[in-house]
Structure 1
C-alpha cells in the first residue's frame, strides 16, 4: 500500500507499498541480521517471560480500530492482541516464519482439488464475555468483511470464496453459502479455484470470530468482543488505548501469544524523536515501553554510539523490497533492452548510502524477499552493486536510445534517494527529472492513474504474509494495473499471468516454491522494476522489556510474545 510513515500494527492491504521504509502508526497497512549496537533481531531472555506489569507501546498514529473486518494489521501486531484467527504465525530471527494453528486444531485441510478447505476449532474457546467461540462466529466475522460499510481490510478471501464477488455482507440478513459452519467446531470454506496458500490467508484479520449479536459497524471498532488475551478497557482517539487481561483467554490453547503484561497501553499521536530520546536515556517512565515506529535517523545514530543502549536497539534482517518502478507502457521504456540498461545503470551502493548506509538494508537482486520459505537467490544483471555503466551504454546504443529523458515520480520525502538514481542515470547519458508529490497527488497520479504521469517511481513492498504469492501477484499480475492497485510498472505478460495462477494453485509446498522461484526470474527477465535494497528496520525498547523479537519475516517486532522483566 502506498504509505506515509506508519507502524507495524497497521500494515497493509496486499502488502505495504512504501515511499520510504514504514514508520508504523497504529490505526488502520520492509543479509544477515545485525543492529548498530549489537542487536540481531531479538533481545531479552529466551524464556517465556514474566506475567504482569504494564507495557506501553508508543505510536505516531492518532487512531486505532479493533474491527478485524477493516484491519490490515499483520498477524503479529496490534490486532493480534485482541483477535485470534484460524491460524497464526510463529516468528524467529533464526528461521523462516512458520504457519501454526490458532483457533483451529491445525492449519487447514484442503480437498484433493484444493478448492475446499476444512478447519476444526479447538474445544472450550471463549470470548471475553465467557460465551463459546464457534464456527458460526468465524463465519459471521468473515461475512462482515464483505459489507460495504466496512472497508479497508485485506481482500484475499473476497476474491477466493465462491460467490464472494456478488456478496454484500450479512447486515441485510444474507449469508455466504461458501462459508459453511457445519457444526459448532467445523468450518468448511469453498473456493472458486485451488489455492495452496489458503492456510496463510486464514491468519488475516477477517478470520477472527465475531458474535452475531454484536459487530455493528458503528461501534465494533472501539467496542469489540475479543478472543485474544486482552480486551479493550478504554479508548481515547489521539490519546490512549488501554487493553487489560481477558480472563476467559486460555494460554494452553494459544501457541502464538505469551499474554505476559497485565495491561498494554498504546500511547497515541506521539513524536517518534521525542519518544526515542526518552527510551535511549532509559528514563523511568520509558523503561517498560517500546517505540512502534522506526527509530528516526538522528536518534538511530545516537543509539548506535551509546554503549548504555546495547541490545535495546534491535535491527531486523533484510525485509521489504525497495525498488525502482519502470513503466512498461511509457514510450521511453517500452523496449525491454532500454529497461535492462537501467538495471546496469543504477548505482545501488549510492542509493543505500542515501538511505543511511549499511544499516538501512542489503542489496536486492530478486523480487521474493528474504525470510520467505522457498526463496532462491539469483542475479541476472550487474554483479557489482554500483552497477556497470559501460554495459548500460552498450544496451542503450543497441536500442538506438539517444537523448533519453525520463520522469521520476517520488514522495516528497525521498529526494536524497531519488538524486542517487538521477546521478547514476546521468553517467550513462539519461536525463532524469525528479517530480515530488504529496500523498494525495501520489495516490491520484500513480496508484489510481493511467500511467501517463511517470516513467519511473521509487517504491517498496512489504507482503501481508510470508508467501511468494504476496510478493509477486499484487505487483506483476496484469489484473492489478490501475484502479488503485499496485502493479505500478503496468506490466502485462500472459505467460507470467498463467505462471502466477499455476503457482498459487499448487498445494505441494516444495512444488509451489519451485514454481514461484521460476516466475520470479521470468519477471526479472522482462525488467519491469530494478530491485534496490531489502530494507532493515531499527526499533528501540526500554530496559524493562524482554522477548522483543524480530523474526526473519516480517521485519517488525512480534507484539504477541513481548513481555516485561520481573
Structure 2
C-alpha cells in the first residue's frame, strides 16, 4: 500500500509539472495601504484630499511634465524629467518656459500622449469655457499654479507656458499639473462624474483598475509603462481610507493591511517589538496654525503672533508624539541653509510670550481668546485632535490664552484655506490648522506673497510684508545659485520675525509596515515612490 501511495504521489507531481505554466503562476503581489483620508481621493486625474491624494491616486497613475525624484533618502527630493524630457526658460522672455515633450508615451487606453493632449488638459484646468472644464480639478490646480498666464502649442513636441511674473521656480509648480487621456472624457459621455467611475486613463506606472466610492481604489501594474526601467514589482495596490489611527493600527495588527500611514505614536514601541517596520525621516513639511491677519483680528499685531510662538511647548508635543516630529521655529527647519538670520529664535519661553501679549493689550484681566478650525484627520495632519488638545491646554497654562476649536472634515478645512476673511465656512475661526510642504520657493510663493491671497492662492492670513516681497522678487529673478539662496534666506528671515503662522512641529513622516514589505525608500518628500516596493 505504501508503494501504491508513493507511486500515486509521483504521478500527481508529474501531472502538475506537465500542466501549462499559467496554472502554476505565483499569486498576485498585492499591497494593501490604509490612508489617513476619510474617503477615497477623487479619481478623475486630479485627486482631492490634499497631497495624500496626490501621493496615492495622483503620481502613480496620472503624471506631470515634471516629476519628483524620490529615489534617495539622504537629501530633499528634487525634480526629474517626466512627460517632458527637458525644459528651459526663454532667454529673450524670462516669463516664458518651453517644455520639450517625451516621444512614444501612450495613455493607459492606448491613445498617444502629445502636444494636443497637453493643451486639452490645460484647457480642462484653466479655461472655464472649455467643454472639458472640470470645476474641482481646476480649483485645485489653479491654487497650486497661481502664476499661469497663458500656454500654447509651439509644435508637435513643444509647449510654451507664460507666467504672469518672472518665476525661477516654475518647474516646481509644473509638477502639480497631471494629465488624463482625452478619450476618457469621451468614453464617460463628457461627464466627469462618469469618467471617475470608468476608471480614467493616465500614463503612470500604475493603472486605476477599480474604484468603490468611500471604500477603496485598486491600482494595477502598467506593464507597458514608457520607462521600461520602472515597471512596478507589485501587481496591485489596494488603497483603503481609514481616518481613525486606532482603526489603522488594528487593521495592520490583524493582517487586513500591509502598510499604514501615521501609526499612533504610543503604539510604535509595541509594533517594533512585534516585528513591524517603522519608517520615519526628516523632510520638508510643517504642521502650523495660520493666523488671520485681515480685518479686525488680534493677529494684526505682530507682538501677538510672536508672543504665541514663544508660548508653545514644542518639546512637550514632540514627547506626546513619541518622537515622530521635531520642533518647528520657522517655515524651514533651523538647519536649512536658507533659514536665514532672524532676530527671533522661538523657544518655550512663557515669560517672554506673556510680556509680548501684555504689550499688545492682553493679560489675565483681558485674555486673548480665539477659535481655530481643525480637522479630525487628513493628509499630513498626524493626530490633529490630541495634538490640538495639548496646545489648547499648553497655551492656557503657559500664557493664559483661551483657544476653542471648530472641528471639521479635512476637505472642508482645505476649502477654508481658499476662503476670504469672515467667510461662512470659517464659522468664526481666526486661525486654521492645515499642514504644508516647505519643499521649495514655489510653495513659499503660494502661501506668503500678497498676490496670492484667496482665491488666487493659499495666503489665507493676508500676509503682506514689503521686505519679504522685495527679497522674494530677487529670488524670482535670480540667475545663479548664490543670488537665489541669498534671497531665499532673506525672505525666510521675514517669515520668522513677522510670523504669519504659529510654527509648531515638522512631522517625521511616520508609517508602519509588515516585514513582508520590501524595497521602500523613505524619500525626503511628502510624496513616495511605489514602483520599487515589493511584498514577499
Identify the TM-score tier after normalising by the shorter chain.
0.7 to 0.9
The 1:140–1:51 alpha-carbon spacing in structure 2 relative to 1, beyond 3 Å, is farther
Of 120, 124, 138 in structure 1, the residue corresponding to residue 104 of structure 2 is 124
1:339 aligns with 2:305: yes
What displacement does 1:188 show? 2.2
Deviations 1:179-215 (A, max 9, x none): 21511x2222233332212222222143556459747
What displacement does 1:443 show? 7.4
- What 5-or-longer segments of structure 2 have no aligned partner? 1-25, 377-383
SS of residue paired to 1:514: helix
SS of residue paired to 2:218: strand
1:84 aligns with 2:63: yes
Task: State the partner residue of 1:111.
Answer: 90
Task: State the partner residue of 1:459.
Answer: 433
Task: State the partner residue of 2:533.
Answer: 562
Task: State the partner residue of 2:407.
Answer: 438
Task: State the partner residue of 2:142.
Answer: 155
Task: State the partner residue of 2:11.
Answer: none
Distance in 2 (alpha carbons) for counterparts of 1:155 and 1:510: 30
What displacement does 1:343 show? 3.1
1:544 aligns with 2:516: yes
Task: State the partner residue of 1:3.
Answer: none
CA RMSD of aligned residues (A): 3.7
Deviations 1:510-550 (A, max 9, x none): 43232122111113222333312111232112222112222
What displacement does 1:297 show? 4.3
The 1:401–1:129 alpha-carbon spacing in structure 2 relative to 1, beyond 3 Å, is closer
Deviations 1:5-52 (A, max 9, x none): xxxxxxxxxxxxxxxxxxxxxxxxxxxxxxxxxxxxxxxxxxxxx996
Residue pair 2:153, 2:159 contacting (<8 A) in 1 also: yes
1:368 aligns with 2:332: yes
Structure 1 segment 391-470 matched on structure 2, within 5 A:
391-396=352-357, 402=363, 403-410=365-372, 411=374, 416-418=386-388, 420-422=390-392, 424-426=394-396, 430-439=399-408, 448=419, 450=421, 457=431, 459-463=433-437, 466-470=439-443
What displacement does 1:300 show? 3.3
1:308 aligns with 2:275: yes
1:381 aligns with 2:361: no
The 1:208–1:95 alpha-carbon spacing in structure 2 relative to 1, beyond 3 Å, is farther
Distance in 2 (alpha carbons) for counterparts of 1:66 and 1:442: 20
1:249 aligns with 2:206: no
SS of residue paired to 1:68: coil
Residue pair 2:38, 2:243 contacting (<8 A) in 1 also: yes
What displacement does 1:303 show? 1.4
What displacement does 1:95 show? 1.0
Residue pair 1:180, 1:189 contacting (<8 A) in 2 also: no
Task: State the partner residue of 1:44.
Answer: none
- What 5-or-longer segments of structure 1 have no aligned partner? 1-49, 164-177
Largest Rg, 1 or 2: 2
1:295 aligns with 2:263: yes
Residue pair 2:289, 2:433 contacting (<8 A) in 1 also: yes
Distance in 2 (alpha carbons) for counterparts of 1:348 and 1:314: 22
What displacement does 1:115 show? 1.6
What displacement does 1:557 show? 3.8
Of 178, 185, 190 in structure 1, the residue corresponding to residue 162 of structure 2 is 190
Distance in 2 (alpha carbons) for counterparts of 1:272 and 1:421: 19
Residue pair 1:315, 1:539 contacting (<8 A) in 2 also: yes
Task: State the partner residue of 2:43.
Answer: 66
Distance in 1 (alpha carbons) for counterparts of 2:360 and 2:341: 26
SS of residue paired to 1:179: strand
Larger relative contact order (Cα-Cα within 8 Å, sequence gap ≥ 6): 1
Deviates more, 1:533-542 or 1:393-402: 393-402
Deviations 1:401-429 (A, max 9, x none): 5444222323376565445545555566x
Deviations 1:220-249 (A, max 9, x none): 323312312232333222333333333432
SS of residue paired to 1:95: coil
The 1:431–1:103 alpha-carbon spacing in structure 2 relative to 1, beyond 3 Å, is same
Task: State the partner residue of 1:137.
Answer: 117
What displacement does 1:97 show? 0.3
Which structure features the higher share of helix residues? 2
The 1:369–1:484 alpha-carbon spacing in structure 2 relative to 1, beyond 3 Å, is farther
